[in-house]
Structures are given as structure tokens and as C-alpha cells.
Amino acid sequence: MDAFAVSIGLGSKHSHKSVSLGLMAAIYFGVFQGIMPLLGYAGGKGIFGWIEAFAPWVAFILLLLIGGKMIYESRVGGIEEDISNITHRIMLVLALATSVDAMAAGFSLTLLEVNPLYACLLIGLVTFGFSWLGVLIGAKTGSWLESKAELLGGIVLILIGFKILFV
């Protein structure tokens, strides 16, 4: 949802080149959102034995913090509003900024009975699609949807945290 919200913001500010920008955003965000949870999963597996008894609480706290950060960011302006020229360097920074929390969330994959490669591939593909769609939506509607998408994403992450903790 972070990548989707940023993509909407990018599309609203750069609507004249929405097709090429949409593809660029989709590739950068999709790749980074797919790789970072895998790194979090690998790190989580490395320390899982040490904190196995506390793992649900750790995952809950991480998801609560990430979700809270997204809700907070939905209320304040995003960095994409200050960007006038989209370069590969800017997209790299945006992709890293929106995917760092995905690395932390990847830790929670250690608690689920899922194939981490499949899960991360799916995350990357979904992010690819939503990022491309976000730029196109932003180009058509402006930025009013951007904060709503980020707010919804934050709420969903917090709910997933509660599910991990209590189920």
C-alpha cells in the first residue's frame, strides 16, 4: 500500500508521462517489495530459534509499528510531492524507502506456513500491478486517493498483527 500510495502521488504530479512512469514505478516497487521481505524472512529464520517463544509478539509489534507509520504518513504529505524530475536514482530511493518496512514485515513470514519464495514472488507481482495502476489512477484522479490508500494499508497491517498474536 505504501508503493501504491506513492505511485498515485507520482501519477498525479506527472500525468503527462503516466505510461512510462507507471512501468518504471511498477518495476522498481515490484522488485524491491518482492526482495525485501525475503531478506527479512532470512534474517528472521536466523534469529527465530533465539526468540521463538516471543516471535508472535515481535511480529505483532513490528506490524503495529509499520501500520502506525503508514497511518501517520497518510496524514502528512509524501516525498513525491517535492519531486519535479523522475530519474532512476529517485525511483531507487523511493523503492528503498517504501520497502524497508517490508523487510521488517518479512520476519512475520517465519511464523506462517507458507513458502517464502512463493509469498515474496506474489508480493512483488501484486506490487508491480498496483504500482502501475496507482500511477494511472493518480494521473486521472489527482492525489486525493493517495492518503486513503496508505491509511487502509496501515489498518490492514495492524489487523494482521492482531491475527498473528491471537490466532
What's the pLDDT score for residue 114?
84
Name the least confident of 40-49, 109-118, 119-128, 136-145: 40-49
Residue 129 has pLDDT above 60, yes or no: yes
Mean pLDDT in residue range 13-17: 74
Residue 18 has pLDDT above 60, yes or no: yes
Separation between Cα atoms, residue 155 and residue 136, nearest integer Å: 24
Instruction: Give residue-wise pLDDT tens across range 27-65.
Output: 999 999 999 999 888 887 776 666 666 767 877 887 788
Grid cell 490466532 in the structure block, residue? 167
**To 10 degrees, the CA torsion angle through 38, 60, 80, 34?**
20
How far apart, in Å, are the Cα atoms of 106 and each of 2, 39, 42, 128, 162? 15, 7, 8, 18, 16
- CA count, 13 A, side-chain hemisphere, 142: 1
Nearest one of 167, 161, 166, 154 to 61, comparing CA atoms: 161
Nearest one of 130, 106, 104 to 119, comparing CA atoms: 106
What is the pTM (predicted TM-score) of this model?
Answer: 0.72
